[in-house]
Amino acid sequence: MKKSLLFLSLIFVLIFSACNKKEENIDQNAKAQEDQDSKKEEIYNVDPGTAIFRGPQDAPVTVVNFSDFQCPFSKRSVDLMEGLLKKYNGKVRYVFKHFPLSFHKWAKPASYAAIAAQNQGKFWEYYAKLYTDVKNVNEEMIVAYAKELKLDMDKFNSDRTSAETAAKVQADITQGSLFGVRGTPTLFINGVRIVGANSAKIEETITKQIAVGEQLKAKGVKDPYAEIVKNGKTKFIPPKREAPAVSQDVYKVEIPAHAPVWGAEDALVTMVLFDDFECPFCSRLYGTYEQLKKDYAGKIRIAFVNLPLGFHKKAKDAAYLAAAAHKQGKFWEVYSFLFTKQKEWNRVPDFKEWLEANKADIPADWETLKKDMESKEIEKIVEEDIKTASALGLRGTPASFINGRYISGALPIDSFKKVIDEEFKKAEGKGLKGDALYREIIKEGNPAVAKTNGNKAEKEDPNKIYQIKLSGKEASKGAKNPKVTIIEFSDFQCPFCSKAFATLESVAGKYKNDVKVVYKNFPLGFHKEAKPAALFAHAVKNLYGDEKFFQLASILYSKQNEWKTNHEEKFASYAKEMGADWAKVKAEAAKPETEAAVSEDIREAGNHNLRGVPAFFINGKKVGGAKPAEFFESMIESIIKEKK
């Protein structure tokens, strides 16, 4: 969870240059590009194969573009290449590779259609039509473009649905993935890798490589590209980065008496793991912990504390299962079973039914487990674990403490090893071991975790006043001359935001003569429908005003589960419900100005280091999370009282 939130601070860097395949890869792409720019350019041997191309086959420069027909940044690179092909006529071979991103619904069908057009000698004409309006690619347009080009429609439809066509697109995707393509566009210019539609960098590289290629041709080399890339890398290996620094701060993490403990009783290093069995990042960290067990066998001990997060519906039942297994002395076996099977059981509608169906594979007595899972004893153990985590200030998983030092999230194994090795050195001179050593280390530790920045404690001043920049494009409601202004950063797909929005609506209504609420969009990257919802709501605000915006916001929050799928169809119905013209709203949402307004809100959140939602600034004071009505009322009344 926290890794995904960390991603948000990085997306601002790339949001204007590339569509990205997966959120967690953005940091990798950005860092890889920085590393390439800071040293001698690496060359990749990307085989054009039988891919479609324009320009002379023996041109001084070959540009291979991995692109997506629904990506606006791919369109920028395509428009740029059109100009460069004319400017450097005869000196550039332009090769197109298909790399439809999974979150672009029509990108893959568009690639299939382009190949079908290619089979009739009309690829570049069809490609040009697709890139005229990347935001509105759909089935109707795919067919209409084919008809405009007078293609044989029976052959077109047959080819675009054939296994051969699908295999061609998949071959490009596989090749791109091998060479580190995670987002579009990614270009290879005579083997030099460039991520994103960086116009200046692309033209600068082409100009430089023309000179290289022409020198080879002057020496009689018939295929400059083959000569340049022949010793190039055959796959992309992300540069190894130093392990993130971990704070030296120590926290007083008491190990619950009922906690399962693995390892040596006389260990010099004690690790306490707070985990959620349904959390994908906990699953990722599971592999790290298994390796640490092997590498430090007999030297460390590990205690496990359950922290099932509220929005993971199966997490608590999984915690009950693990706690019940501990009664049989089988905790670590069931712990491994749950994490290795996580991708299987987290997709099923009923976790208990899945357990029943797979009882033969569970490494403990199933009938006893089933009985214990329902017991008050096991429920109490898990609730005590949750209270322990809450008292420590933990809000996400995984969370690890190594001799009291806090590591947030699934960091690389080197980060854990670095801290473990440091703690070994510290412990050697203390003359203590095991539990006695651990208690001595943590006895003066901090009682609760402060908010963190890269695993370094960052204590915020609760009285700090933040200056939040308002563009004037935000939706707002309430008093014209307010004593209290509440700026709300929120995400329409976030369940906590839904609760907070309803609470604030009620509170603001109670103090409508003194309070003004300003709404700013902060759609989180791992909520796929959150940004379309933000664009939809902002479009309604632009066309119909603030009152309609808040009416729509109430609908979006109250029906979150409804529009998780087929969101556009649901948005159309909500517009109709409010008496809004869907066609106008959809057109408004697609405007660059609407996108810019939402992006401006996102940037402002980043400017103030917001990592999650909901977040509020009450007369400039930051408040995080879905607080109860009483909290807001107390703060509002205190401010009003001061102003009298």
- Concatenated DSSP letters of 135-158: GG--HHHHHHHHHHTT--HHHHHH
Residues of the chain above pLDDT 70, percent: 91
Q: Is it true that the peptide bond before 628 is cis, omega within 30 degrees of 0?
A: no
In angstroms, the CA 642 to CA 636 distance is 10
Looking at residue 453, what is its pLDDT?
A: 46
Task: Give the position of tokens 């001990």.
Answer: 301
Looking at residue 22, what is its pLDDT?
A: 39
Provide the CA 113 distance to its chain's centre, in angstroms: 30
Provide the CA 540 distance to its chain's centre, in angstroms: 27
In angstroms, the CA 604 to CA 581 distance is 31
Residues of the chain above pLDDT 90, percent: 76
Residue 351 tokens read as 């976790």
54 beta partners: 94
The pLDDT mean for the chain works out to 89
Query: Out of 26-40, 473-487, 536-550, which region has the weakest mean confidence (pLDDT)?
Result: 26-40
pLDDT tier at 207 (50, 70, 90 boundaries)? very high
pLDDT tier at 15 (50, 70, 90 boundaries)? very low
Q: What three-state secondary structure class fits 376?
A: helix
Looking at residue 429, what is its pLDDT?
A: 78
Please answer whether residues 41 and 206 qualify as being in contact, where contact means their C-beta atoms are separated by less than 8 angstroms.
no
All domains of the chain in start order, with CATH = 2-229 (3.40.30.10), 261-457 (3.40.30.10), 475-643 (3.40.30.10)
For 27, half-sphere exposure in the C-beta direction (CA atoms, 13 angstrom radius) is 11
Looking at residue 40, what is its pLDDT?
A: 55
Looking at residue 241, what is its pLDDT?
A: 62
Angle (CA) 372 376 381, round 5°: 85
What digits encode the pLDDT tens for the residues 218-270?
999 999 999 999 999 999 987 766 667 788 999 999 999 999 999 999 999 99
DSSP 42: P
Residue 213 tokens read as 């290629």
Looking at residue 459, what is its pLDDT?
A: 53
Looking at residue 392, its amino acid is: L
The yes-or-no verdict on residue 480 having pLDDT over 70 is yes
Please answer whether residues 92 and 85 qualify as being in contact, where contact means their C-beta atoms are separated by less than 8 angstroms.
yes
Residue 490 tokens read as 């929120």
The yes-or-no verdict on residue 1 having pLDDT over 80 is no
Looking at residue 20, what is its pLDDT?
A: 60
The yes-or-no verdict on residue 403 having pLDDT over 50 is yes
Task: Please give the residue that has the higher pLDDT: either 19 or 120.
Answer: 120
pLDDT tier at 30 (50, 70, 90 boundaries)? very low
Looking at residue 23, what is its pLDDT?
A: 32
The yes-or-no verdict on residue 128 having pLDDT over 60 is yes
In angstroms, the CA 198 to CA 453 distance is 30
Task: Give the position of tokens 């563009």.
Answer: 471
| Mean pLDDT computed over 73-85 | 95
Looking at residue 16, what is its pLDDT?
A: 42
Report CA-CA distances (Å) from 197 to 17, 56, 80: 5, 24, 8
Looking at residue 642, its amino acid is: E
Residues 6+ apart with CB under 8 A from 573: none
